[in-house]
Amino acid sequence: MQVPASLKRLLDGFSEMGLVVGSILFSLALTPSLLPREALIQGLLSGCAFGIGYGIGVALEWLWSYMGLKLPVSKYTHWLKIAVTAGCLVLMAACLYQTTGWQNSVRQIMGMQPVEAGLPISVLLIALLPAAILIYTGKLLAYGVGFFSRWLVRYVPQRVALVGSLVVVGILATTLFNGVLLRGALRAADAFFLQLDGVAGQFGTPPTDSLRSGSAQSLIEWSTIGRDGRIYADSGPSKTEIEAVIGRPALEPLRVSVGLRSAETTEARAQLALDEMLRIGAFDRSVLLIVTPVGTGWVDPAGMDTLEYLIAGDIASVSLQYSYLLSPLSLVVEPEYGTEAAQALFNVVYGYWTKLPHDKRPKLYLNGLSLGAHASQASAQFFDVLQDPFQGALWVGPPFTSGIWRWATSNRQAGTPEWLPKFGNQTTIRFTNQGGGLDVPGVPWGPMRIAFLQHASDPIVFFSYTSLHREPDWLKGERGPDVSPILNWYPVVTFLQLGMDMALALEPPPGHGHDYAPADYIDAWRALIEPPGWDDQAIASLKAAMVERFARIADQSAVSK
């Protein structure tokens, strides 16, 4: 029985090894990762996995041929191709059938609604586009290599021409992607967010409270603070709101916010922040907090508001904007720029703080979420503060690139999991998550308290470039409380999954992924600062009040939209 000619031509147009590797990666990409994925994201991920796998298969096939190896050819060759293709289709269909259950296993852990049974069809249709784009991009690059090689072979030996063409086309493609497409897109994003920040500055009413940044008495112009910085500066609980929850007298919390357009240079903006702090009496409070925001100046209200309740408003905080880009973009484009701003602010505040009498100055703490945690860790050079250390820091969702976090995690106690390590004698550095971890029986804190709050399901924290070829430590042994037990490591695929998870890090409900719940902040702040007047019952009441507060804020925000 002969294979139809049309089917032969169709099969000859594809690489069998490309189909095999592509279908395997496509299928594995459907398995669970840290976060649940909707149909669009899953389709893009699986399509990219297929395209990359197809390229790997083609490269292996070419290498086999380049080494002079041949596969036997017979009259059954095309039937074998049909069998291989059918096997690939069956594998992908079987995994598509399972994908709804796989995704729901993650959603169940996080208390999310299950996805519908129609997910596989949507995933398949969406996956076609990225797969086709990557495959034909690969074909275009292969054509370029062949074209350049045929030109070079007139002057150099064939093998030299081939290697030379691979190098030249590789350099050109990388330069085009990084130097033109990627950088161009990022410059466009930067310009867009710059305009958005400027336009937003034209709206909104400056605060009337003279203690607020941007008020008529403030040293900082309202229009220069930035959209997210203004939210931080002009929001938060009032003295009356705090008293209503905690049932005892409170102070009005002080917040200082300086925008990227508030002064010409980073050093000038840091000095402006200090001048504003002195104007409002920030150093007269019992607690002083240097907050490093995400790039746009956004400060997590779940972390800031809860601390102000715990301290009964007897706190001043200061924040300095350093970018117009959103945090994930800033992490890729300008992570060191955030570090520069954090260092400048810390230096001026710490420099003034150290000159104050020890018995008349506030306790000094550092704080940052995400990219803010990354920059905040680099703001203080610990050898420079050993003589007069600040009291501590709470770094939340620290990115995988964070220096102190990475060092402490790599040097954790043997036998402790990467997702909740124990470092040294635990007197200085401790890790916590939804289940706690900062209270260590029999081990008192030292003079400086460093706490890392992280979820085991946070891809911003646990992404790793080495996951491309090596199983991450957080997948070995006991799993984190919100990590699927059926999550497994696969070369290339897990790397792609975690990369996609980073883009979805804020999608899960509070308490999972990169979304840190008020209750988690309350436990962390309580262990770190030990505010007076709080027992377990009072803490439980505060957590309930914070749930109501943030639900009310979310409802008001939805109505305003």
Instruction: Kindly report the pTM of this predicted structure.
Output: 0.90
Question: At 308, which CATH number?
Answer: 3.40.50
Q: Does 138 share its domain with 165?
A: no
Q: Does 273 share its domain with 380?
A: yes
Q: Does 272 share its domain with 351?
A: yes
CB 423 within 8 A of CB 430: yes
Enclosing domain of residue 171: 156-200
In a domain, 136, yes or no: yes
In a domain, 31, yes or no: yes
Q: Does 388 share its domain with 376?
A: yes
Cβ atoms within 10 Å, residue 452: 29
Q: Does 174 share its domain with 30?
A: no
Give 387's DSSP letter: S
In a domain, 471, yes or no: no
CB 303 within 8 A of CB 260: no
* Tokens at 100, concatenated: 């709804």
Q: Which residues in the chain show pLDDT less than 50?
A: 1, 3, 6-7, 10-11, 558-561
Q: Does 189 share its domain with 329?
A: no
Give the pLDDT of residue 106. Answer: 93
Annotate 160-203 with DSSP letters as a single string.
HHHHHHHHHHHHHHHHIIIIIIIHHHHHHHHHHHHHHHHHHTTS
The H or E element that residue 219 is part of is: none
Contacts of 214 (CB under 8 A, 6+ apart): 206, 207, 220, 221, 222, 225, 230, 233, 234, 257
Q: Does 189 share its domain with 336?
A: no
Q: How far apart are alpha carbons 8 and 4 in whole angstroms?
A: 6
Give the pLDDT of residue 327. Answer: 64
Candidates 368, 305, 291; CA nearest to 331 is 368
Residue 527 exposure: Cα atoms within 13 Å on the Cβ side: 28
Q: In what order do the strands lie in the sheet with 429-432?
A: 254-258, 315-320, 287-292, 363-369, 392-396, 449-453, 429-432
State phi, psi for 68 to the nearest 5 degrees: 80, 15
**In the listed set 171, 200, 229, which residue is the last one of a domain according to the structure?**
200
Give the pLDDT of residue 194. Answer: 67
In a domain, 247, yes or no: yes
Q: Which residue has the tokens 């059918």?
A: 86
Give 530's DSSP letter: -
Give the pLDDT of residue 158. Answer: 74
In a domain, 452, yes or no: yes
Give the pLDDT of residue 143. Answer: 83
Question: Which amino acid belongs to residue 383?
Answer: F
In a domain, 475, yes or no: no
Q: Does 359 share its domain with 426?
A: yes
Q: Does 354 share its domain with 229?
A: yes
Q: What does the pLDDT look like over 298-314, one tens digit per residue?
A: 999 999 999 999 999 99
Q: Does 450 share its domain with 533?
A: yes
Give the pLDDT of residue 329. Answer: 61
Q: Does 139 share its domain with 187?
A: no
Cα angle value 251/256/260 (rounded, 5°) = 165
**In the listed set 137, 152, 167, which residue is the last one of a domain according to the structure?**
152
In a domain, 482, yes or no: no
In a domain, 160, yes or no: yes
Give the pLDDT of residue 153. Answer: 78
Candidates 512, 447, 547; CA nearest to 34 is 512
Give the pLDDT of residue 10. Answer: 47
* Tokens at 105, concatenated: 């296993």
Give the pLDDT of residue 13. Answer: 58
Total count of domains within the chain: 3
Q: Does 297 share its domain with 333?
A: yes
**In the listed set 152, 186, 218, which residue is the last one of a domain according to the structure?**
152
User: What CA dihedral angle connects 261, 263, 267 and 273, to 10 degrees?
Assistant: -90
Give the pLDDT of residue 63. Answer: 82
